[in-house]
Amino acid sequence: MLDTSDLTAAVERFADRLRAAPQSRLQRGAAAEGLALARELAVRAQRAEDPGREPRILPDAGVFTVADQLAVAGNDLAEILRTAPAGSREQELDEAVRLVREAQERSGL
């Protein structure tokens, strides 16, 4: 069974690889994968925190900010899941970790 540290570790690993990637690799799709993942994690965090409110979408702030956006969104979701009732978080946590791993694989990083 996973815990929130698994999510933060997976997010930080992908964010670190995005930070270290050359601009050409970021522009060929790695940044787009990171941004899509950051947006998805941010939406999940917002829905968990305030289910009645329409989630806001992270802006595209450029290829050099994607790693930070991903780190913030992933850590926000991990914190929300850490404080959620135990029965409600396992599936969401497992799915979030899977999404991070799949996005990193697709990014080629």
- Give the DSSP letter string of 19-48: HHS-HHHIIIIIHHHHHHHHHHHHHHHHHH
For residues 6 and 95, what is the distance between their CA atoms, to the nearest angstrom? 12
Q: Domain ranges in the chain?
A: 4-107
Whether pLDDT at 1 is above 70? no
Cα four-point dihedral sign 63, 65, 71, 73: negative
In a 13 Å sphere around the CA of 52, the CA atoms on its Cβ side amount to 0
**Entry pTM:** 0.94
Cα four-point dihedral sign 42, 44, 48, 51: positive
Pull the structure tokens for residue 49. Answer: 């925190």
| Per-residue model confidence as pLDDT tens digits over 7-18 | 999 999 999 999
| Per-residue model confidence as pLDDT tens digits over 34-91 | 999 999 999 999 999 998 999 999 999 999 999 999 999 999 999 999 988 777 788 8
